[in-house]
Structures are given as C-alpha cells and as structure tokens.
Amino acid sequence: MSAKKIGVYICQCGGNIGDYVDVDEVVAAVAKEPGVGVAKTAMFTCSDATQSEIIADAQEQGLDGLVIASCSPKLHTYTFRDVARRAGMNPFQYTQVNVREQCSWTHTDDHEGATEKAVRLVRAGINRTRLTEPLEPIVVETTPKTLVVGGGIAGLRAALGLAEIGLAVFLVEKEPKLGGWVAGFGEMYPHGRNGAELIAKLEQKVRSHPGITVFTRAELIAKSGSFGNYEVTVAIQGEQLETISTVVGSIVIATGFDTYHPAEGELGYGLDGVITIADFKKLLDSTDGPLEYNGRPVNTVAYIYCVGSRQGEDVEGGNTYCSRYCCTAAVHAATMVADLPARVHQYHFYRDMRTYGKFELLYAEAMEKGSAFVKFPDDEPPAVEKDAKTGGITLTARDLLSEGEEVALTADLVVLVTGMVPRENEGLTKTLKLPVGQSGFYNEIHPKLRPVETVVDGAFICGACQAPRTSSESVASGLAAVTQSAAILKRGFAELDPLVATVDTDACTWCGACETTCPYDAIARESHDGKEIAVISRTSCKGCGGCVPVCPSDAIDLQGYTDAQIKSMIDGMLEVVCA
Amino acid sequence: MTEAAAPEGQPYDPRILVFSTNNISDPGIDLAGSSHMHYSPRVMVINLPCTSAVKPGWIVYAMEQGFDGVFIAADGEECAYLPDCAQRTSGIMQTAQDLLVEKGFEPQRVRMAAICSVCAEPFTKYMHEYATALSGLGPSRKATS
C-alpha cells in the first residue's frame, strides 16, 4: 500500500540551513501538498526531542510516510529509518531530502534561490514518498571473521580486540615485520613508554592468540561478494608468490601513514645538518651520551615547524591540513634533548603551537627546560643557509613575539618538523573502493557520528590512514573499528537494503536482455503462469539498476527508484513555487 | 501544474537536472556544498545507486516537463557495482540523445562526465559551463505565444 499520510520535517540544522533557507516558507509551500498530514520545522531534526515529536505525531495522526529535509542522506538515513520504525512506519517509506549540502550550503549567496530550490526538492521528496511501498530488509547470515589490513599499532590492537571478542581474525601486513612506525620508536609521549617494547608485547599477544592468523609480506589483492560475506584474496610473497582466499564478514583497514619528505632545498633540506623530525627521533633514540650528528658535537639545535603542513593553496599538490602530532613530537624531542648529559641550546621556529589537550604540559616542560620559541609569520619561513666559515647552519627569521625583530642564529643541527602524509596505497584503495578525502587520507562517513565507518558497508578505517594521529588516538580508533565489526558480526546476521530490482510479470516477455547485462548472475528465466519470464534473486541482486534501462518492455523497476518515483520527483521539482 | 515556459530570446538561468550516484558522485556534490562552492539553485539532483540505471526516457521526460538540460554525474571507473558503468552510461546518453532529437530537442541537452567523491571543484565548474552552454541554446520548451 502506498503511503497516504506523510509527515514532513524541515530542519534548520542550527543556522546551517535556517540562515539561508526560509524554512517557514518551505513549510507553508508544502503543507497543502496532497498526502501531507504534518509539516513542521525543527531546530535539529536529528535531536532526541524532535525524534520523539515525530514519533508522537505519527501515532496521533496515523502517519505512514516520512520526509526529512535536512542534511545529506549519507549522515542520517539510518537515524531516520529507525525513527520511522519506532513510530510504527515502514523505514522504506521515508525519504531523505538533502537541503543542506546540496542547497543551503551551496547557495549561501542566494537566499531566495535556496528557499525556492528547497521547496522544489521537498516536493520531489513528498512525491517520491507517496509512491513508496512498505519493504522488509533482506536478511543474510554473516561470517564471524574479520580481515585486518595493516599490522601497525592500530591494526595489531584491533586484531587483538576482535579475537578477544570471539571473532576469527586474518591480519595482513605488507612488510616482513609487524609493528609499523611505532616498532621503530624509543621513548614516546605522553608516558615515556618505549615504542619498540610496546609493540613487542602486543605482537607476542597477537601471535599467541589462537584466533588470529598473521600473514606478513602479504597484500589484499581482490574483494568480491557483499556485506557480511566478502570473499577476499591475499597475495603472500614467500619463496614464491602464493594467493589464498577466504570469506570474512568485515574488513578493518589500518594501513597507517607516510612521513612528509621535504624537497631538495626546502628550508635547507639536503644540506649536511638539516634533517627531519623522523630522523632526529631515530638519532635521539640511539643517543645516551652527548648529542652528536655525523661525528660532530651538537651544541645548538633549531627546529622549524609546519614543514609540509598547512601549505598554501598556491603550493602545487600541497598539504593544506595540520598534522596535529608534530608540534608535540618536537617539544617532546626537546625535553629528551634537555635530559641528555651535555647542555644543548634549543630554538623553536614555529607558526602556531598546537600541543593540544594535556600535551600542553610537554610544551611547558620544554620551555622550563630552556627551549626558546620564535614565532615566524605564516608567509615568511626562516631562511636557512650553510655558514661556510663555521660549518654551521644560519637561520634568519622575523619574530612576531618581539614585534617582528629579526632573529639570526647559527645551529649545528636543524630539525624540520615534518607532518604525516597519506601512504601510497592505490591498489588497496581500488580493490576496496575506499573513498579518499581531499587531503588524500581515507574518509569516514561522518567525523562525529560514524567515525570509523566508510561508504563501503562492513569496511572500517582506523589509525593514521584516516588522518594524522598519535599512536594512542590510533589505538582508540582501532578499538572503535572492533566494536563496529562486532556489532555486525556477533549478531550472526545482517539486514541488507531491499532496494533491489523487481520484474513486472505481466509486462515481461522474456527476451534475455536483462540476464545478459547482469554481471552478478542474479537474473534467471523461469516459467510463470504458462509463460517464460525473468526472475531476479533478491540476495544476488546488488541493486545497481543496470538492468532497468536495458529492458525493452519497461518491465523492470529498481525498488526505491522506480520509474513512477523518478518521474514524480521530476514533476515535484518543476511545479510552480508560490511564495 | 507545471511552470510556464520562459519567453524566447530573454536571458534566463537554465534548469539543470543532475543524476548522481549514492556512493561516488553524490558525495562529490555534497563536498561542493560543504566547501560552500556556488552554482545556480536551478541545478537539482536526483541520486541513484549507479548511473547505469538511468532510463533514457527520464531524460526526455525531464525536458518535456521543463528542465533545460540533464547532466549525468557518472562514476567513471570507480563504480562499486559495474566495472563497465561508464560505457553503459554513455550508451544510455546516446539513446537519450536520439530520443531528444526525435522529439525536437537539441542533443546537447544531455551531457555526462565522471565526478568522483572529492570532485567538488570539477562539478561546480561543469555546472557553470553547462549553464552557459544551455543559455546559448535557449529554453528547452520554446514559448508558444
């Protein structure tokens, strides 16, 4: 039965929508549309209060269809399907209308145009909803196994968490050894723990857990199947290349980061005595006496911050983001230097100091232990040159903390405080079809609400493959991926959207065009009431709709996107808007 | 009730219907919004799982009802469903063009391009370019009086 009485809720999203779209005008314009039972605005439709209000309205008014005009369907489709379900409606008789990303935010320059467009979009949504039919999700059994890609600190901790919760784990690491970057670190902030020792303990637990199978020098090369039951193929480089395949219910991606490599000549990089923070950390971890570099004593260290981070739009392929961890890494290194037996003068040339949260204490400690800080203007990084006479390196910069006075000094060692960059992972990105964000890291669905989920169902991201992170933040997100995996797989079954293709048995005359076009073997010929027709398997159909335009008899519809619905949306978008 | 056609010869801002895909091009179009990039509010989007599902008849229908152009924001090689999605979609576009010509519309009233999940800028640029091109053609439904 098509939806007859529809509730329409227009969200203001604080001011994100309400500042640009006149939501009251939208309500006034759509309230009298056929089938609309309730039309209202809300400050935040996703809030508990509005959710309760929708449920109360539905019960009082007997609503059987729901239209939410708020943000992108990527954010709250599941939230409102759940609201519909709790309100006694069918979740598939709800339509999400995107009036934020595709309306208010993109027409901040045209309030009138944005309001008119919102009315049109909402009308299209109402028309679509009117033609919805109640649908039930397709239930599939899930495989209680997870593939973890990447054996750094996030992947190791995730693997252990998954195994402890009772899921079988395949851990795949590209390198010959587990542990990633952290395995190469000595003392780490904020607790002074030794990275190599942490990893050794974690690796021992992972390797001895009967539920975890570890493959090193191994890479995921293929993925097929669907959510809950992905068939994955892993290539393992041994004496000869081997491939193995298995079925897993979910995939956790923890492939980590790479460090920024400065270009030759960038802030003196390439000169003897100019190194990155990553190399400096290695030097410190192997130093217990006086600090030396290439056999020469180091009495003065100068740090230059934000190298390869927060680059301007004018830098070709530049990194506009802040790597977040590097300020703290630099002040932490400075405290380690200060604790060495011989006194070293330390100067920090920075743009802004972002030792967020409790890392402020490390910044304070670095200052207390004698580090001096010079704040240079964003567009005037220090000039770095080799001093031919002394063999040292001179730095010249303007210091904004002393009214722009020029500061010049000679250092024995210059440390470029470099950030994290996304790792080159094209093969994996393509295999899993993972979305990559503007900065090149993998993208979650929502930074706050769905922070480890991706648009690929059952594929979770964690650690520094998602964004620059500290090791403890990486572990926290690894454990979030564990919880999300377990939430799906421990139930034993998953519910898939029933938005699959269906055949009108009266219209179908079996020509075989749809069967030929479907790469998933979801369509077969069957006898029905004495004639041959196409039948589509609900569990094999992926819901792409590729067969829809192929049918010469117009006998195939994709649920949720039927011919009648799309045409009704076009109609709704073109109706006259009365102010 | 649909809107009256714009009188011929008057400057106008064309209405563009975009077909996007849930997982690839729609996030790209969302990103244009979250980056506050601007294009005309007469651009409206209908999202589908894959552009291989667009019926050529919908494109003609959109034109008959009053859109001036249809832009198919396809997935290119990124489509999670069909590896030959771009080829299929361009086939759909060609069929649609033939149908449009049959009905007296210019074939340029449908256009396609691959839009990725971070293609905010390219999408915005396409919308500006396409709007200019469609303005040159004039409204799809010429005034009758």
Interatomic CA distance for residues A547 and A549, integer angstroms: 6
What pLDDT score was predicted for residue A449? 77
Please indicate, yes or no, if residue B142 is contained in any of the structural domains. Answer: no
Residues 76-105 of A with CB under 8 A from B: 98, 100-103, 105
E strand or H helix at A172, and its extent? strand A168-172
| DSSP E strand stretches across A47-167 | 65-70, 94-98, 138-141, 145-149
Q: Cβ B29–A570 below 8 Å, yes or no?
A: no
Alpha-carbon gap: A22 to the closest alpha carbon of chain B (Å): 14
Please indicate, yes or no, if residue B20 is contained in any of the structural domains. Answer: yes
| DSSP E strand stretches across chain B | 16-21, 43-48, 69-74, 110-114
Alpha-carbon gap: A555 to the closest alpha carbon of chain B (Å): 12
What pLDDT score was predicted for residue A205? 98
Please indicate, yes or no, if residue B8 is contained in any of the structural domains. Answer: no
> Across the interface, which of B27, B80, B92 has its CB nearest the CB of A74?
B27
What pLDDT score was predicted for residue B8? 52
Which residues pair with residue A339 across a beta bridge? Answer: none
Alpha-carbon gap: B5 to the closest alpha carbon of chain A (Å): 11
Question: Mutate which of A78, A99, A102, A548 to disrupt the B interface (most B C-beta within 10 Å)?
Answer: A102
What pLDDT score was predicted for residue A577? 62
Mean pLDDT across the stretch A43-57? Answer: 97
What pLDDT score was predicted for residue A146? 98
* Whether residue A65 has pLDDT greater than 60: yes
Alpha-carbon gap: A177 to the closest alpha carbon of chain B (Å): 32
> Across the interface, which of B34, B46, B52 has its CB nearest the CB of A546?
B52
Token pair 């109360």 in the structure block, residue: A56
Please indicate, yes or no, if residue B143 is contained in any of the structural domains. Answer: no
C-beta atoms surrounding A59 within 10 Å? 11
* Six-digit token string for A485: 């995996």
CATH of residue B79: 3.40.50
Which residues pair with residue A374 across a beta bridge? Answer: A349
Domain that holds residue B60: 16-137
Q: Cβ A106–B36 below 8 Å, yes or no?
A: yes
Residues 6+ apart with CB under 8 A from A335: A362, A365, A366, A369
Q: Cβ A113–B22 below 8 Å, yes or no?
A: no
Q: Cβ B30–A74 below 8 Å, yes or no?
A: yes
Q: Cβ B44–A120 below 8 Å, yes or no?
A: yes
Q: A443 at the B interface (CB within 8 A)?
A: yes
- Structurally, at CATH architecture level, domain A501-558 sits in 2-Layer Sandwich (3.30)
Q: Cβ A519–B22 below 8 Å, yes or no?
A: no
Which range, of A16-20, A210-214, B1-5, B90-94, averages the lowest pLDDT?
A: B1-5
* Six-digit token string for A378: 């964003």
| Domain A145-256+423-494 is found in CATH 3.50.50.60 | yes
Please indicate, yes or no, if residue B40 is contained in any of the structural domains. Answer: yes
> Across the interface, which of A433, A499, A569 has its CB nearest the CB of B80?
A433
What fold, for A261-419?
FAD/NAD(P)-binding domain (3.50.50)
List of chain B residues whose C-beta atoms are within 8 Å of the C-beta of residue A107: 38, 41
Residues 137-176 of A with CB under 8 A from B: none
ipTM of model over 0.90: yes
Tell me the angle at which helices B25-34 and A73-86 cross, rounded to the nearest 10 degrees.
Answer: 100
Token pair 């998954």 in the structure block, residue: A162
List of chain B residues whose C-beta atoms are within 8 Å of the C-beta of residue A549: 52-56, 92, 95
Which range, of A17-31, A363-377, A428-442, B23-37, averages the lowest pLDDT?
A: A428-442
Q: What helix, strand, coil percent values describe chain A, rounded to 5?
A: 30, 30, 40
Low-confidence ranges of chain B (pLDDT < 50): 1-6, 143-145
Q: What are the tens digits of pLDDT across the range A86-130?
A: 999 999 999 999 999 999 999 999 999 999 999 999 999 999 999
Interatomic CA distance for residues A63 and A337, integer angstroms: 68
Which range, of A66-75, A155-164, A311-320, averages the lowest pLDDT?
A: A311-320
Question: Please, what's the b/e burial string for A373-405 (b: 16 or more CB within 10 A of its CB; e: otherwise)?
Answer: bbbbeeeebbebeeeeeeebbbbebbbeeeeee
> Across the interface, which of B27, B39, B53 has its CB nearest the CB of A106?
B39
Mean pLDDT across the stretch A324-350? Answer: 96
Mean pLDDT across the stretch A357-382? Answer: 96
Please indicate, yes or no, if residue B42 is contained in any of the structural domains. Answer: yes
Mean pLDDT across the stretch A259-270? Answer: 96
Mean pLDDT across the stretch A241-255? Answer: 97
DSSP code, position A501:
E
Interatomic CA distance for residues B25 and A145, integer angstroms: 31
What pLDDT score was predicted for residue B145? 34
E strand or H helix at A410, and its extent? strand A405-411
> Across the interface, which of B3, B33, B55 has its CB nearest the CB of A548?
B55
Q: Cβ B41–A546 below 8 Å, yes or no?
A: no
What pLDDT score was predicted for residue B1? 43
Residues 268-307 of A with CB under 8 A from B: none
What pLDDT score was predicted for residue B83? 76
Mean pLDDT across the stretch A311-331? Answer: 92
Mean pLDDT across the stretch A305-329? Answer: 92
Alpha-carbon gap: B75 to the closest alpha carbon of chain A (Å): 12
Q: A563 at the B interface (CB within 8 A)?
A: yes
Mean pLDDT across the stretch A142-149? Answer: 97
Q: Between B1 and A523, where is the model more confident?
A: A523
- What is the amino acid identity at position A215? F
Q: A435 at the B interface (CB within 8 A)?
A: yes
- Assign A579 a pLDDT band (cuts: 50, 70, 90): very low
* Whether residue A212 has pLDDT greater than 90: yes
